[in-house]
Structure 1
Amino acid sequence: MSDADADVDADTDAPSLPDDLEAVRESLIEWYEDDHRSFPWRETDDPYAILVSEVMSQQTQLDRVVDAWEEFLERWPTTADLATADRADVVGFWTGHSLGYNNRAKYLHEAAQQVEDEYDGTFPETPDELQELMGVGPYTANAVASFAFNNGDAVVDTNVKRVCYRAFGVPDDDAAFEEAANELMPEGRSRVWNNAIMELGGVACRQTPRCDEVGCPWREWCSAYASGDFTAPDVPTQPTFEGSRRQFRGRVIGTLREYDELELDTLGHRIRVDYAPGGEYGREWLEGLLSDLADDGLVDVDETGEKTVARLER
């Protein structure tokens, strides 16, 4: 096969976006602006408030995040307030609201300190600069840059991948999704665009699609709508929380907040009824749990003398 033939085959296999991209873009933006789910972080361009919402949403359904987000910002309304807070209080808030892994609270606390100490209280504005903040990866940095400063690239989450895969035949490949999403996004409109395309995936193009029910604006271009084949890339499932290490990490933090410090076996009996020092869920299991928490900077383990004592890191 000649190089020219190979190029033809590659072009044949490659997904192609519609020629009338401007119509595709405007139809989605109009659909979003006409009616969308109301979340309070969509009503602000405060990068701190948006960062808090992004970190909270990583592990929690959006409807459940609203109350926690509002309470968090009421308690620590600025990076200056959060930076001077007791870390144990921040982690305790996280645990109390079941917001996922506690190290995210620790990172958020440290990011606030960075903004105050390294940026004089002014948030960095670009995705690259935002990634310098503790715990802020490419996705979160891009989301904050988009929603706070309107200067991000296309946000690519599970919803966006599903939309691109179904509508335009983008292959199940991260690089392909990113390329297609950025080509679709109108220049200089990352704030409204990223909100709109994630809304499309979250409301219309769900795992069980609701195309006609919610008036999906892309039906005339959508391959899946035309064929009736609504398969989509596999979506990772959230591990069961009940009985998980994540659940018991939270119980350790909550118990140590109440008792300040506890000897190993006392702590074990307080966090699970089937704790037995020499059993499957005994000292070795608990020491592993505490080691993980210590590595995250959340717990201090004192092995001085005959007893092992655990306390929250201050």
Structure 2
Amino acid sequence: MSDAAEPADEWTPPDDRAAVREALIAWYEDDHREFPWRRTDDPYAILVSEVMSQQTQLDRVVEAWEAFLERWPTTAALADADRADVVGFWTDHSLGYNNRAKYLHEAAGQIEDDYDGEFPHTPDELQELMGVGPYTANAVASFAFNNGDAVVDTNVKRVLYRAFDVPDDDAAFEAAARKLMPDGRSRVWNNAIMELGGVACEQTPSCDEAGCPWREWCGAYASGDFTAPDVPTQPSFEGSRRQFRGRVIGTLREYDELDLDALGHRIRVDYAPDGEYGREWLEGLLTDLESDGLVELERGDGDEPVARLQR
């Protein structure tokens, strides 16, 4: 994985970007966690969910979100509420810093007073609301109006870093996320990539269990190195099996197929067919990759095995 930051415009997306996009969207649309705010495009309801979800587990938010909207179903109702009641609700439901409740109450007043009860539609306009920063503005624009930029949170950074080796740099993450997101599909795309980070590419990943749609392209999946900006670095990568798994995958991407010795000489300078790092070592490595569904080994009668990527 990349350690040093690179200029944001130097990262290039995969050549088959369309396939990458469609794989993620199809995975999300086939099955995803059901949260009630994903079933609405009401910007007020979405704003409430976003503010409540800041540093709070989503499963805990559901009950509070439903109760909040039952009590204050519109921006008008919230704006007319006593602020002490709103803050009290926040405290009773253990939703974190009380200033979020205060800002949400003030934002509702802005909507009513400055926008005649109509939500602004763009991320830039939404940031004019009290307590609404770039991330929340983007999320509301995306999920309510399908009019947002690519959302980048900790989960998305982790996904991009692992899957496509995006440098650990905020500008690089922003640029990469924009390049990957398909035009006009911010609602489904941002939901999908955040879902990927939430259920498949967590700090401890569940690639196969969650059926991650990006395994075919993912550098971390190929190498076994699942470090990320929010995950402690794994020691001793240099010379490890994880490193050579990655080299095998990278080399086989360049060639249709290679026999054992041809592959061995390409992945390590000290490869010797009958040596410590020879055919027996390499076949063991390939057998592991075959078990993971990444590599095919063709073993003919008396012939040296031939390796190719799993199709």
> What TM-score do the two structures reach when normalised by structure 2?
0.71
* Counterpart residue type for residue 83 of structure 1: A
Match of 1:150 in 2: 146
Deviation at 1:59, TM superposition (A): 2.3
* Counterpart residue type for residue 122 of structure 1: E
Contact 1:15-1:168 within 8 A present in 2 as well:
no
- Residue 128, structure 1, aligned to residue 127, structure 2: no
* Counterpart residue type for residue 68 of structure 1: A
* Equivalent of 1:213 in 203, 209, 232: 209
Post-superposition CA distance 1:65-94 (Å, at most 9, x none): 000000000000000000000000000000
Post-superposition CA distance 1:141-161 (Å, at most 9, x none): 000000000010000000100
Q: Can you give the 5+ residue segments of structure 2 that lack an aligned partner in the other structure?
A: 1-5, 233-311
Deviation at 1:14, TM superposition (A): 4.7
Alignment of 1:157-306 (within 5 A): 157-234=153-230
Distance 2:99 2:93 in 1: 14
Match of 1:106 in 2: 102
Q: Secondary structure at the match of 2:132?
A: coil
Q: Can you give the 5+ residue segments of structure 1 that lack an aligned partner in the other structure?
A: 1-9, 237-314
Match of 1:54 in 2: 50
- Residue 76, structure 1, aligned to residue 72, structure 2: yes
Post-superposition CA distance 1:21-58 (Å, at most 9, x none): 00000000000000000000000000000000000000
Match of 1:85 in 2: 81
Distance 2:53 2:145 in 1: 20
Distance 1:182 1:36 in 2: 23
How many percent identity over aligned positions? 86
Post-superposition CA distance 1:108-135 (Å, at most 9, x none): 0000000000000000010010000000
Deviation at 1:235, TM superposition (A): 6.2
How much is the aligned-residue C-alpha RMSD, in angstroms? 1.5
Post-superposition CA distance 1:2-30 (Å, at most 9, x none): xxxxxxxx79x954321010000000000
Match of 1:17 in 2: 13
Match of 1:35 in 2: 31
Match of 1:286 in 2: none
Distance 1:104 1:209 in 2: 31
> What TM-score do the two structures reach when normalised by structure 1?
0.70
Contact 1:158-1:235 within 8 A present in 2 as well:
no
Q: Secondary structure at the match of 2:60?
A: helix
Contact 1:90-1:105 within 8 A present in 2 as well:
yes
Distance 1:14 1:148 in 2: 32
